[in-house]
Structure 1
Amino acid sequence: MFRAYLFRRILLLTLFTCALVGCSVPESTPLAHWRHVEGGAYAADISTDGTLAVVSGINNGLNVWRIGDEKPLFHWSHQGEGNNLVISVHISADKTHVVTADKEAFALWNLATGEPVGFWRIDESSIRDVAVTNEGKGILVARSSGTVMYFEPQTQRRLEFLGHQEKVNSIDISPNGKYALTGGNDYTAYLWSTDSGQIIHTFTHPTRVSKVALDDKGRYALTADSQSKSQIWNVQTGEPVSALRYFARQKIFTDIEFSEDGKYLLTGSPARQVYLWDVQSGQELESWKVAARDTMSPPTAVVYGVAFTTDGNIVTESSSGLAELWQRKK
C-alpha cells in the first residue's frame, strides 16, 4: 500500500513538473550522421522524401547535399562572394527548385542543373519567410510589414495579400501553387487563394501564430502559436481535426512535415527536440534529440529541417551543421 501511494505521489509530481517547465527529451543516438557545414548553419530544408538537403552555412554559403554523400552536389552564393546571410530556404515538393532568401532579396534555383533562375530584391520591408511551388512556377514571400506576396517568375504576375494586420512569421504554399497558408503576430492564420487573394479559411489563436504548414496532399494544415495552441485542421472544411497534446506551457516549432499517408506529423524545435505525432489524436508518439552545436553556450541546436525517409525513418538537419538519421519504432 505504501509503495503504491509513493508511486502515485511520484507520478503526480512528475506530471506537475512537466506542466510547469516541460519534460526534456532524453539524449538519443542516430543511426548515422553527416557533417554538412563547419561552424554551424543559419537555415536549412530537407526534401519531402528525405533525400536532399539545402543548407545555409555560416562560413561556406549554400550547399546542396544528397543525404548520405560525402560531397555536395552544388555550392551556391546568394549575393555573390562574401558573408552568407541566407535565413530562409525551401525546396519544392517535386524537388525541381529551391528558393533562398536573406532579409533583402530572394533567389530561385534549378535543382537539376544547379543554375540560378532569377534574383529579386525587396525594398519596402524585410523578408520573413519564403516558399516555392512545383516546377518553380510560384514563389510566396512574407514581409515584416504584414504583406505577403505571391510571384510567378515566368509570367511576372504578382499578387499581394493584405489580410494580416501585423508582422507575418510563417508561410507555406500548396505544391500546385493554388493555396497559401500564412500566420502572423495578429493571432491569426489564413488559408487563401493565390488566384484571387480571397480568404478561404480563418484560423484564430490566443497569441501570435509562430508556425504554419500545409500537407502536400491537400488534407491538413497545422497552425501553432507562441504559447499552447497547436491545431491540425481539415483544409477542405476548415474544421479542427486535433490539437497537439503536451504538458509544457509552450512549444515552439521550427519545421513541420506531414507523412505521405497522412497519419503522422513530424516537428522540429529551437531546442534540439524532434517529435512524432498522431494526426487524428494529437498524441505524441516518439521523440529524438539532435546533436548540439558545440560553439553555443550552453550547447544547443535549432532543428531547421525534418522529413520522413522512404523506409519509414526520420532525417533531420540542424544548426549544428549535421544531418542525422533516426530510427522509428516499427
Structure 2
Amino acid sequence: MFTIRTLKTLFLLTLLSACQPSEQVPEQQWRHAIEGAYAANISNDGKYSVVSSIHHGVSLWDLDKNALKYSWSQQQNSTDNLVLLADIADNNSHALIANRNDFSLWNIDNGKSEGFWSISESNIRDIAVANNGNYLLVGQSNGKVVHITPDNGRRLEFLGHQEKINAVDIMPNGRVAISGSNDFVAYVWDTQSGQVIYRFNHPSRVTMVALDPKGRYAFTADSKKSANIWNLKTGKLVSQLKYFNRQEVFSTVRFSPDGTTLLTGAPSRKVSIWAISTGERLTSWRVTPREDIRPAGAVVYSAAFRDNERVITESSSGYAELWQVNK
C-alpha cells in the first residue's frame, strides 16, 4: 500500500536520479597516457590534442587518425617542472604549453619550438595562444595577466585584478582577452591598450572564463552558484546555467560552432551540454575514470564538438573518448 511518505520518497528518488548524468558508453576510446595525464587540450575543431602525461612528456595527437604527431619536452625532470597547462590556437597553427614557471610555443605544422620563456616573480596559473602564435596570454598568481607579442617582444601587463588569476582566454586575433581572479571579478579587456571593455562581478572567486572564438559570447563562472553566458557585443547577460547542485565547478568550457550550445567538463568526470539561450542542461554523462585510484575518478581536462552529433574529450584518466550526443 502506498502512503504519502512512500510517494514523497519515490518523488525525491526520481528527482535525484533525473539530475544524475547517464552512464553513457563512448563510441570510441583511445589511450593517450599510460597511468594518467597531468593536462590536456583539444583544438576547437576536435582534430588535435596536446597531452602532458606522467611517463611520456608532452604529446601532440592527430585525433582524425589517432596518431602521435610529435613528442615535446619542457624540462620534465622533476615534479616542479611538469607541464600542467596547454592551449591550441583556433586555426591549429600553434600550441602553447606551460609548467609553473616556464612556457613555450610550438609550431604544429613542423613540430618545432618557436620560443621559450621563464617567469620568476610568480607562478603561472593559466595560458592562451592566438592564431599563428602571434600573441600569448599568461595569467599569474600575483594577479598580473601578461600579453606577449613574440615577434617583437612587446609585453603588456594587465593590472586590473587584485588577487591571483585562475583562468584566461584570448580571441583568435589576439585583440581581446578575458581573465578571472580570486578577487570575484572577470574582466574583458583590450590587449593593445589594456583598457577594460566589460567588468563582470561575481559573489565568489572566478574560477573559469572563456571566449567564443567567433566573438558572440563570453562565459564566466565562480566557485559557488553563478555561471553566466554574456553577449560579447553588448556585455548583457544572455543566460545563467541552471543546476540543482549547491555548486558546479568547471574544468573546461567550449562554445558550439553554431552558437546554440555550451559544452562543459568538470573535475567530477561530468560532461554537460547546455542551451545558451536558456541556460538549461540538455544532456550530461561521465567520462571513464582511472581505475587504479580510489575512489575511481577523472578530471575532464578538455572537451570539443567534433561535429553536430559528437563530442570528444580528454581526461586525467589518460583516455581520449568520442561520444554520441543525444540532446
Q: 1:99 and 2:75 equivalent? A: no
Picking from 28, 33, 36, the partner of 1:37 is 33
Shift of 1:39: 1.1
Picking from 224, 241, 244, the partner of 1:244 is 241
Gap change, CA 1:170 and 1:13, over 3 Å in 2: same
Q: Could you tell me how far apart the structure 2 residues matched to 1:89 and 1:143 are?
A: 15
Q: Aligned with 1:43: secondary structure?
A: strand
Picking from 37, 42, 48, the partner of 1:46 is 42
Picking from 260, 265, 268, the partner of 1:263 is 260
After superposition, the C-alpha distances for 1:30-76 in whole angstroms (9 at most, x for unaligned) are 00000001010010000111111110001110001011535300000
Picking from 120, 125, 131, the partner of 2:128 is 131
Q: 1:274 and 2:271 equivalent? A: yes
Gap change, CA 1:266 and 1:80, over 3 Å in 2: closer
Shift of 1:2: 5.8
Q: Could you tell me how far apart the structure 1 residues matched to 2:225 and 2:307 are?
A: 32
Picking from 184, 192, 203, the partner of 2:189 is 192
Shift of 1:293: 1.2
TM-score, normalisation: structure 2: 0.95
Shift of 1:312: 2.7
1:90 corresponds in structure 2 to 87
2:200 corresponds in structure 1 to 203
Work out whether residues 34 and 68 of structure 1, in 8 Å CA contact, stay in contact via their aligned partners in 2. no
Shift of 1:7: 4.5
Work out whether residues 76 and 83 of structure 2, in 8 Å CA contact, stay in contact via their aligned partners in 1. no
After superposition, the C-alpha distances for 1:187-238 in whole angstroms (9 at most, x for unaligned) are 0000000010000000010000000000011010010000110000011111
Q: Could you tell me how far apart the structure 2 residues matched to 1:269 and 1:102 are?
A: 21
Work out whether residues 28 and 323 of structure 2, in 8 Å CA contact, stay in contact via their aligned partners in 1. yes
Q: 1:318 and 2:293 equivalent? A: no
Q: Could you tell me how far apart the structure 2 residues matched to 1:116 and 1:33 are?
A: 30
**Mean Cα deviation higher: 133-142 or 64-73:** 64-73
After superposition, the C-alpha distances for 1:249-281 in whole angstroms (9 at most, x for unaligned) are 010000000001100000000010000000000
After superposition, the C-alpha distances for 1:141-176 in whole angstroms (9 at most, x for unaligned) are 000000000001011110000000001100000011
Q: Aligned with 1:72: secondary structure?
A: strand
Aligned length: 326
Q: Could you tell me how far apart the structure 1 residues matched to 2:257 and 2:238 are?
A: 17
Q: Aligned with 1:73: secondary structure?
A: strand
Q: Which amino acid in structure 1 is aligned with residue 259 of structure 2?
A: G
The unaligned stretches of length 5 or more in structure 2 are none
Shift of 1:328: 1.1
Q: Which amino acid in structure 1 is aligned with residue 57 of structure 2?
A: G
